[in-house]
Amino acid sequence: MSSKASITVLRPREEVERLWRDPHYRTEHIEGAGATVRFVQAPGDRGTEIHVELGQSARAGKLGQAVQKLRGSEPLSKAKDDLRRFKQFVETGEIPRSDAVPEGELLERKFKQRPAQPLTQDELQKVGA
């Protein structure tokens, strides 16, 4: 069984392939998972599609997969995070971070989230407003 992920980057194929191999843009989880990566020209001259196919590890069976998913360490989730970061970095030059989940989809982090709300007076003073 395999897992697949893909994303479209708004750059020419040759440039995307070159940047993919550049250590500065390194995608740690995809490279470490022994994945198959393909670069395809997107239809309508809309950039380059990156297709990643991960070999599914059967470590600890269904239970192990469920635990990985809950902990946010599932290989497919990590690969999707890496693809998103690569796209952001290539297209904008930076990777925006959210206060909600700056390190990705970790379950323990989701429990600490709170709905958006105005800053308290103490928080306003800390930021100099």
Question: What CA–CA distances, in Å, run from 113 to 42, 97, 120, 123, 129?
Answer: 36, 14, 17, 17, 24
Fold classification of 2-113 (topology level)? Alpha-D-Glucose-1,6-Bisphosphate; Chain A, domain 4 (3.30.530)
pLDDT for res 6: 94
Report the predicted TM-score, pTM, of the whole model to 2 decimal places: 0.64
Per-residue pLDDT of the chain in tens (129 residues, 90 and over written 9): 468 999 999 999 999 999 999 988 877 767 666 788 999 999 998 999 999 998 765 555 667 666 656 655 677 878 888 899 899 999 998 877 666 555 555 555 556 666 777 778 888 888 776
pLDDT for res 118: 79
What letter would DSSP give residue 114? -
pLDDT for res 77: 79
- The angle at the Cα of 40, spanning 56 to 35, to the nearest 5 degrees, equals 20
- Judge whether 27 and 82 are in contact, CB under 8 Å: yes
- Judge whether 75 and 110 are in contact, CB under 8 Å: no
**Neighbouring C-alpha atoms within 13 Å toward the C-beta of 103:** 8
The sheet carrying 48-55 orders its strands as 2-9, 48-55, 36-41
pLDDT for res 90: 92
pLDDT for res 97: 67
pLDDT for res 7: 95
- Judge whether 80 and 113 are in contact, CB under 8 Å: no
